[in-house]
A and B are shown apart, each in its own frame.
Chain A
Amino acid sequence: MPTKIEKDSVTGRETTGHEWDGLKELNTPLPRWWLYLFYATIVFAVVWMILYPALPVTGLHGVTGWTARGAIGPELEAERAKQEPMLARLRAATPAAIAADPELRNFALAGGRIAFANNCAACHGAGGQGAAGGFPTLADDDWLYGGSFEDIHFTITHGVRNGEDPEARGIAMPRFLADGILKPDQVGDVTDYVLSLSGQAADAAAAGRGEALFAENCVACHGEKGEGNREMGAPRLSDQVWLYGGDRASVLRSVSFAHAGVMPAWGKRLDPAIINMLTVYVHALGGGE
């Protein structure tokens, strides 16, 4: 408890009565102007809460009806209007024509990068690096459905095995073991043959047995030498790029249970100009044909 409140001779103010090793504290009130400012802020806050959305309750807007989204609306509109002439040109041109025009190409690469980050990077990774488990790398030279401007544009527009677009890419591969088409030892033989196609170590005897099975079951889609088929999205089996892993266990699993990667049909979600920009961007990632 403060006990010894005394008057300070220099300032004429009273002390708080507290003393610490001879140090006393002046009881200096807050300046008047400061207090009034403080009261003003309280009034301001109340007025604010009435005028603007301030309480974390859904549906409770301020009487002015102001929203942050609404406030930025005209700015967004203005930005869109500024981009519109360029977007119109991008819509009208083919991706190949865009890539040939430095101005359009520059715009498409910048816009495509953003659109890719927003829509594609979740599966295909930043820079199109792909991801394990069936998300193809877009920066390499191996394409399931082709790497020309037209092919990329078609794939983005219609997607893959999505069930929403009749023109979607890809057909389903049979589940050779699960559906009982091949017996377990036959699946093993085919696997050894597939490994031998890309020059990997394989059991020669098993591969020999597997060759006939491959010719019977796989050639229709994957080609005689496993060169793949872009019409169907059947991957090339003779190269070093493996979407679902190229070691024996992975290939065995693929033959047994099959994979069927899917991709949305972006043509239903994105502006044609953005699809064109994405096409040019993906084409430029390093694998464009």
Chain B
Amino acid sequence: MGALKLPEQTRPEAPAASGATPAAPLYAKRQKVYPKAVQGRVRRAKWLILVLCLLLYYTVPLIRWDRGPDMPDQAVLVDMNAGRLFFFWIEIWPQEVYYLTGLLVLGAIGLFAATSLFGRVWCGFTCPQTVWTDLFMLVERRIQGDRNARMRLDLKPWTREWVVKKGLTHAVWLGIAAATGGAWIMYFNDALEMTPRFFTGQASLEVYFFFGLFTATTYLLAGWAREQVCTYMCPWPRFQAAMLDENSLVVTYRAWRGEPRGKAKAEGVGDCVDCRACVHVCPTGIDIRDGQQMECIGCGLCIDACDDVMTRLQRPRGLIAFETLANLAASEAAAGALPPGPQRRACGMQVRRVPRFLRARTLVYAGALALVVAAMGGAWLLRQTTSLAVIRDRAPIFVRLSDGGIRNAYTLKLGDKTPGVEAYSLALEAPAGLNLIVLDAESDPAGAPVLTTRPDGITQWRALVTAPAGLRLPESVPVTFRLVDARGRVAVSTSSVFLGPKP
């Protein structure tokens, strides 16, 4: 992998550094972005993904999944009160939250892999910030008109037209934001049962709080903050460059073909007519012709804008394209010296290679993905559904019985993550002579106490272990409680200690 050669970045608003004048304030005021509407292949793909993402978000809580009586029948549900997380056939308990962590780790590695292959596709197409901002911009455009109309409107604030159009826009935005916050709470409460209670004011304060929180954040982030979230708030743009290399597909301007810029009919100029269509459609307000920039979210709308202009000028499309930096450098090397025209275009395009998808970086990501998937799958298959917690009484540490025997008491918590009722015999592995009884428990034919579970719950038992008088034991003796199932297999074993006076 060679060093990345990125075109030098020139930001129009960046102040010139000069030693003589005192440093300008470090605060840069936001320049409002007015993205122009655009049609094309990338835009269609984005609409499609937007619809799919929103459809997923709004319909998933409505999917039903039968888990039997007394169990929620929502397929995807985070039940905070009962402390259960349901995902179709999967149900996890709070102490198993590492499965969720594993899923997030998978998501992170997947993001790294996708970025090293195709650049910031997550940012440009599927990130909720992008999806909702796109939706909000659609509303804004429908009500206030396209770029120029919106800019004109903002020049005359507090006129009748301004108030009506702005008011309507914000009302619709708030409506969408409320629907977003409303759907969010459906993931934490039964959607079908919660919705009527929500609208009749019978839901809990918690529900209304989170509804308000997500309504407010959606409205602020997608309506007001927009590209500032990507540029200033999100950590991802800061380190995503570490996943990119010269073989990643990124949104690029083919400078070797476009430069020098000039009028369409001028002689000796490149394909770029400097119409600034690419700048006008950009949702983050940057100029892709300045090269790779942190602000670029890789949405590719400038590709559509430029393709449209090139088609109208009857020039081949692809002056701005998803392209690897390696190809860009190869084209530059081959065609950069040629005079502008069809020959330079053909020469530059000819030397391009199919992007190398299999490379050390992507293989490492694929390996890491496979490893985490295997670890999670293994952990899931070996998941223990029965648990036995042994809590030794600390007050009193031990009890001296009237015959001189020593007794320890334990609280046993038997957890069962399955919907059925199981029965286990409890065996004590301890020095000979120690005697185990469990209060209120039945006995099996061999005389061992039988503990029964509660479906998807915990049963509690009190066990008394007694050392008869005269049994010489050290101060602390390790003991192990074992749950033995009907087939004689040890389901769980938990260790504890038996304490007595100093010998």
List residues of A whose CB falls within 8 A of some B CB.
Answer: 9-11, 125-130, 137, 139-142, 236, 239-241, 284, 286-287
Contact = CB atoms under 8 A, between A and B. Distances in A.
A126 B393 CA distance: 10
Contacts of A142: 401-402
Contact of B395 (A10, A129, A239, A284): A129
Nearest to A128: B396
Given A10-B22, A125-B395, A129-B396, A236 B409 contact: no
Contacts of A11: 25
11 contacts: A10-B24, A129-B396, A129-B397, A137-B396, A139-B409, A140-B401, A142-B401, A239-B403, A240-B404, A241-B401, A286-B464
Contacts of B25: 10-11
B111 to A, nearest CB: 41
Nearest to A105: B440
Contact of B399 (A140, A236, A284): A140
B23 interface: yes
Interface in B402-420: 402-404, 407, 409
B155 to A, nearest CB: 28
Contacts of A141: 401-402
B165 interface: no
Given A142-B402, A240-B401, A9 B396 contact: no
A9 B393 CA distance: 73
5 closest pairs, A vs B, by CB?
A129-B396, A239-B402, A127-B395, A240-B404, A126-B395
Contact of B400 (A10, A128, A240): A240
Contacts of A137: 396, 399-400
Contacts of B23: 10
A122 to B, nearest CB: 13
B393 A127 contact: yes
A240 B402 contact: yes
A118 to B, nearest CB: 16
Chain B CB within 10 Å — which of A130, A239, A241, A286 has the most?
A286
B144 to A, nearest CB: 31
Contact of B396 (A10, A139, A239, A240): A139
Interface in B378-395: 393-395
A136 to B, nearest CB: 12
| Interface SS of chain A | loop
Contacts, number: 54
B446 interface: no
B421 interface: no
Contacts of B22: 9-10
Given A10-B25, A139-B409, A130 B396 contact: yes
B131 to A, nearest CB: 36
A239 B469 CA distance: 11
A262 B411 CA distance: 32
Contacts of B394: 127
B403 A286 contact: no
Given A140-B407, A240-B404, A240-B469, A286 B24 contact: no
A86 to B, nearest CB: 19
A10 B401 CA distance: 85
B400 A140 contact: yes
Chain A CB within 10 Å — which of B395, B399, B401, B404 has the most?
B399
A127 B402 contact: no
Contact of A241 (B24, B397, B400, B462): B400
B439 to A, nearest CB: 7
Contacts of A240: 400-404, 469
Given A127-B395, A140-B400, 20 more contacts: A9-B22, A10-B24, A125-B395, A126-B395, A129-B395, A129-B397, A137-B400, A141-B402, A142-B401, A142-B402, A236-B402, A239-B404, A240-B401, A240-B402, A240-B403, A241-B401, A284-B439, A286-B407, A286-B409, A287-B399
A100 B439 CA distance: 13
Nearest to B24: A10
Nearest to A285: B409
Contacts of B464: 286
Chain A CB within 10 Å — which of B393, B400, B402 has the most?
B402
A140 B24 contact: no
Contacts of B462: 284
Interface string B450-476: 000000000000101000010000000
Nearest to B397: A129
Interface string B100-111: 000000000000
A129 B395 CA distance: 6
B191 to A, nearest CB: 29
A142 B394 CA distance: 20
A284 B461 CA distance: 12
A246 to B, nearest CB: 10
A230 to B, nearest CB: 13
B461 to A, nearest CB: 12
A122 B158 CA distance: 73
Chain A CB within 10 Å — which of B23, B394, B403, B439 has the most?
B403
Interface in B70-86: none
Nearest to A10: B22
Contacts of A284: 439, 462
A116 B395 CA distance: 13
Contacts of B469: 240
A130 B22 CA distance: 78
A168 B402 CA distance: 25
A239 B403 CA distance: 6
Interface in B1-47: 22-25
B503 to A, nearest CB: 15
A98 to B, nearest CB: 14
A10 B393 CA distance: 70
A151 to B, nearest CB: 16
Contacts of A125: 395-396
Contacts of A239: 402-404
A11 B401 CA distance: 83
A139 B399 contact: yes
A11 B407 CA distance: 79
A241 B395 CA distance: 17
Chain A CB within 10 Å — which of B25, B400, B464 has the most?
B400
Contacts of A126: 395
A119 B503 CA distance: 35
Nearest to A8: B22
Contacts of B439: 284
B156 to A, nearest CB: 29
Nearest to B464: A286
A167 B393 CA distance: 34
A236 B25 CA distance: 89
A239 B399 CA distance: 14
A284 B463 CA distance: 11
Contacts of A9: 22
A241 B402 contact: yes
A25 to B, nearest CB: 15
